[in-house]
Amino acid sequence: ALRVARGRNLKKSRTSLDFHTMAKIRAYELREQSEAELLKKLEELKQELAALRVAKVTGGAASKLAKIKEVRKSIARVLTVYNQKGKEAMRVKFAEAKHLPLNLRQKKTRAIRRRLTKEQASKVTLKAKKKMQNFPQRWFAVKA
């Protein structure tokens, strides 16, 4: 684990907890995989996590204890990419539909979703239109 700062390499202090055998899973690499591959990867990671938890109970090495966090984060990444792919597929499927499913609609706030549209809010009744035409706003110059 090397960090680059201002053009020179700084070695990170290594503790017994810093050793990880498996490389960190990257989201962009996961996005290239199919949904079946993602589910397979997820199952592998869950099995690995179960094994690490057993090692924790039986008093495993410190490196295994530190790896638990990394595996949990990897599971989260796989699930995130899997859900994003599913949502994107739903967006494509419902692109031409009249009504979108609730999870694909804009969230905003409840009040914003319920308020009048700009077109509705700008509408004026016939009586109000006549009143505005016949009695326009007066502008007065104030003497200073």
- The first and second tokens of residue 80, run together, are 């995130």
State the CB neighbour count (10 A cutoff) for residue 131.
Answer: 12
Amino acid (1-letter code) at residue 36: A
Question: What was the pLDDT predicted at 10?
Answer: 44
The reported pTM is: 0.64
The model's pLDDT over 57-102, given as tens digits with 9 standing for 90+, comes to 998 788 888 899 999 999 999 999 999 999 999 999 999 999 999 9
From CA 43, how far away is CA 79, in angstroms rounded?
11
Identify whether the C-beta of residue 22 lies closer than 8 Å to the C-beta of residue 69.
no
Confidence check: pLDDT of 1 > 60: no
Q: How confident is the model at residue 114 (pLDDT cuts 50, 70, 90)?
A: very high
Q: Which pLDDT value is given to residue 73? A: 96
Q: Model confidence over 12-61: pLDDT tens digits?
A: 433 333 334 467 889 999 999 999 999 999 999 999 999 999 999 998 78
Q: What is the chain's length?
A: 144
Q: How far apart are CA 75 and CA 91, in angstroms?
A: 24
* H-type alpha helices, 18-144: 27-31, 35-57, 62-93, 110-114, 118-122, 126-134
Task: Report the distance separating Cα 53 and Cα 57, nearest Å.
Answer: 6
